[in-house]
Structure 1
Amino acid sequence: MIEASSTLDLELLRTFQVVAQTGSLAATAEIRHRTLSAISMQMKRLETELDVRLLERGSRGVSLTPSGEVLLREARELLRVHDTLVSRFSGERLSGRVRLGIPEDYARELLDDTLPQFMACYPGILLDVNTDTSGRLARALRKRQLDLAIVLDHATGLEGGETLWHPTPVWAGPIQGAIHREAVVPLAVHPEQCPYRHLAIEGLDSIQRPWRTVFTSTSIHAVEKAIETGMAIGVLDRERVTTAMRALDESDGLPPIRRCVARLHFAQAIDVASQPAVEALAQLLRERLHGRGPWQRDALSGRDTGQRPRA
C-alpha cells in the first residue's frame, strides 16, 4: 500500500494513460520519446508504488487488469483537473493540433454543441475534423492521419476502443407505399466501408432477399431524402427516422438488424505536444456522448422525442 507521505508522479500516470490507449509499450516509447526499457521501468515503478498489478503482458502487447481499468478512469480525471488548474493559474492554455474523425451521420449533432463548446474552452487548440464512413475513418486512424475517431464497430477492422454508446439501427422506408415489398429491394446507402450499409446487405443476404443499390451518397441527408421520396429503403439510426419515414421490421418482411457499438479510438502514435489537447477532447466526448450518444442533449433538456424533427 502507498504510505501516507507518498505521492504519485503525474508523469507516470501520463505514461500509463498512453500505454492504455495504445496497448503497446513500444508505441508508448515512440509517443513519449523515451526508450522501451524506460517505459517498462516506469510501469513497474507505478505498480510497485501502488502495490497492485496494472498490466497484463502478452505476445500481442499489454492490456489492463481490473485494477488498471480503475486507475485509468481516476488518472484521466486527475490529469484533467491538474492540467485545467495549471492552465487557469499560470495563464497558459492547452495548445496543439487535434485531428478528429466522426461518422458523417452524427456530424450535425456534434457540430450543434459539443465541438463548438470544445473550441470555446480551448481557443489555443487547432481542431481538424474529418467526417467519413466508419471504415474509412478506421483506415485513416491506422495510417495516423487522425489522432482519435468515433467509429461504429462493424466493417472497421479496429480492435479495442472505449464504448461511448449503442446506436439503434433500424430499417427505414417512406411513410407511404410499400417499396420494401418489391421483389428486388431498392437500397439507399453510403459507399463501401459504411457499417450500416454492411448491416443492410448482411441482413438481406441472410434471408436470401434480392437487393440492388439505387442511391449511394456520402451525405446522410441525401440518403434520407432518397428514403423520404420513396426511391429506396435504408438502414438508419432510429433517431434519424423523420416524420416523412416509418421504421420497418420483420412484420414488413425484413430481417432483424444486428446492434452496433460506437467506440472512441486513439491513434497508436500521437504527437507528444498534442497529447494533452487530444485527451481534453476525448474527455469531453466521453462526458457528452456516453450512454445516449449525440442525442444526449435531448435527455439533458428533458426532451426525449424518440424521433428527430424533419429537416
Structure 2
Amino acid sequence: MARWPPSPELTLTARSQRRMREAMYDVDTAFLRTFVTLADTRSFSRTGILVGRSQSAVSGQIKKLEEIFDRQLIERDTRNVRLTQDGEKLLGYARDMIASADAMLARFRSQEIAGEVRFGSPEDFTTAHLPDVLAAFMNAHPQVMLHVSCALTRTLIDEFEAGLHDLVLIKQSTERVHPGARAIWREELVWVGPSSDALPKAFEEARAVFDKRARPLPLVLSPSACVYRERALAALDRAKAPWTSAFTSPSHAGCAAAVRAGLGYAVMPRGLIQDGIDVLGDWPPLEAADMCLLEPSRQSPAAQALAHFIEARMAERKDAAKAF
C-alpha cells in the first residue's frame, strides 16, 4: 500500500527531473556539423546537399539541438534563414567541437609530419569552405607551420610560378584548366540580385526596364581574368544583352554588399548566397567553374599532407551531395 505523503527521498521535483534529462544528453557532432553548415549557407536545401540529408532531416536535427539547449537557434521566413543571438553564441563552440573531432580522426589516421607550408586560396572559397578544414589540419599536425594568404586566381598563379607558394587553390573554367592543376570541387554558378525591389528580378523585365532608360544591364563584377566574370559576360553576350560594369571589387564581401545595395546583378557560387541576396532563376544559363589544386611536381611531406587533407574533405562533401 502506497504511503502518503511520499517519502522525501523518493520525490523528484520538476527541476530535478529536468536536470537529470539534461545530464543524459550528448551533443552529436553530426548535428553540430549540420548547424554550422546551415549557419554558413543560410539555406536548408543547400545544407541538405552538403551534409547528405533531406531538408526535413536538417530541420529535425536543428530542432533536436534546440531541444537539447532549450534555446531557439534559427529564425527563418520565406526568404531568409538567420541565427538568433543564442545561435551566434553556439556557433563558435560548434566550430571548435567539429574541428577537434576532425583533428582527432586525422591525428590517429596519419603519421606525424613537420615543416612549413605556404598556401594560397581565393578569399571567398577560403572563407566559405576552409576554416574548419585548415583548423582540423593544424590540430592533427601541430608540428606544421601553415601560412595562408588570399588573392585572386591570376595573382595566385603568378606567385606560385614565382615560388612564393607551396600549394594554391585556383578557380578555373571547366574546359580550360591550368597545366598541372587538378579539379577537386565544382562550383555551381547562379545569377543573383538584391532581395529588395531595387532591381527587377526577371531577365526580360530587367532588359525592358534598362532598355527604356537607354542603359545597359548594371553588373557587379570581379576584376578581369576571374572565371565568374568570364561566365557572366559570356552568358549575356550569347543572349545579346548589353551590359556595363557598375561595381568592381576583388573581394566577394565587397561584391555581395554591392548586390545587396542594388547596384547591379552578379554571378556567384550557389553555396555563397547570403541574406539580402536572391538567386535569379530565369537569367541566361551559366557554365560551372572548377576549384583546382595547383602543386609542384616535387613537394614537401607537409605540403603533400595538406593537399591530401583538403582534397579528402572536399571529396566527402561531394559524396554527401551525391547521396542527397
TM-score, normalised via structure 2 length: 0.57
Q: CA deviation at 1:109?
A: 2.7
Q: Does 1:159 align with 2:179?
A: yes
- 1:113-262 matched pairs, under 5 angstroms: 113-154=132-173, 158-177=178-197, 178-179=199-200, 181=206, 182-183=210-211, 184-249=216-281, 251=282, 254-262=283-291
Q: Secondary structure at the match of 1:166?
A: strand
Q: 1:267 matched to which residue of 2?
A: 296
Task: Determine the C-alpha separation between the residues in 1 that align with 2:172 and 2:247.
Answer: 24
Greater radius of gyration (CA): 2
Indicate yes or no: 2:119 matched with 1:100: yes
Classify the secondary structure of the residue corresponding to 2:228: helix
User: Which has the higher mean CA deviation after the structures are superposed, 155-164 or 136-145?
Assistant: 155-164
How many percent identity over aligned positions?
A: 27
- Compared with structure 1, are the counterparts of its residues 157 and 166 closer, same or farther at alpha carbon in structure 2 (3 Å cutoff)? closer
Q: Is the 8 A contact 2:173 2:288 kept in 1?
A: no
For 1:147, the aligned partner's letter is: D
> Structure 1 residue 242: deviation in Å?
2.4
Q: Is the CA contact 2:107–2:141 (under 8 Å) kept in the aligned structure 1?
A: no
Return the offset for 1:139. 2.3
CA distance in 2, matches of 1:264, 1:169: 19
Q: In the alignment, what sits opposite 2:48?
A: none
CA RMSD across the alignment: 2.9
How many Å separate the matches in 2 of 1:291 and 1:128? 24
Question: CA 1:192/1:81 → structure 2, altered by over 3 Å: closer, same or farther?
Answer: same
In 2, the alpha carbon distance for the partners of 1:160 and 1:268 equals: 8
State yes or no: 1:277 paired with 2:302: yes
CA distance, structure 2, for counterparts of residue 113 and residue 161 of structure 1: 23
Distance in 1 (CA, whole Å) between partners of 2:286 and 2:154 is: 19
**Inter-partner Cα distance in structure 2 for 1:292 and 1:192:** 30
Deviation at 1:166, TM superposition (A): 1.2
Partner SS, residue 232 of structure 1 = coil
Q: Which residue identity does 2:232 align to in structure 1?
A: A
C-alpha separation between the residues in 2 aligned to 1:124 and 1:291? 25
The 1:133–1:154 alpha-carbon spacing in structure 2 relative to 1, beyond 3 Å, is farther
Counterpart-to-counterpart distance in 1, 2:109 and 2:123: 31
- Contact 1:173–1:232 at 8 Å: present in 2 too? yes
Q: Distance in 2 between matches of 1:188 and 1:117?
A: 34
Aligned length: 205
Deviation readout 1:224-273 (Å, 9 max, x if unpaired): 11111211110000112224222124x3xx32111112221103454xxx
- Indicate the SS of the match to 2:119: strand
- 2:191 maps to amino acid: W
Check 1:136–1:157 CA distance in 2 against 1; reply closer, same or farther (3 A cut): farther
Per-residue deviation, 1:291: 5.9
Where does the alignment leave 5 or more consecutive residues of structure 1 unmatched? 1-79, 88-93, 305-311
In the alignment, the residues of structure 2 paired with residue 137 and residue 237 of structure 1 have an alpha-carbon distance, to the nearest angstrom, of: 20
- Secondary structure in structure 1 of the residue aligned to 2:246: strand
Alignment of 1:14-29 (within 5 A): none
CA 83–248 in structure 1, closer or farther in 2 if over 3 Å, else same:
closer
What is the rounded CA distance, in whole Å, between the counterparts of 2:317 and 2:190 in structure 1? 16
Cα deviation per residue 1:282-301 (whole Å; 9 max; x = unaligned)? 111011112647xx9xx59x
CA deviation map 1:84-134 (0-9, x unaligned): 44x3xxxxxx22221111111112234530111112222222211121222
SS of the residue 1:153 aligns to: strand
Question: 1:157: how far off?
Answer: 6.1
Q: CA deviation at 1:160?
A: 4.3
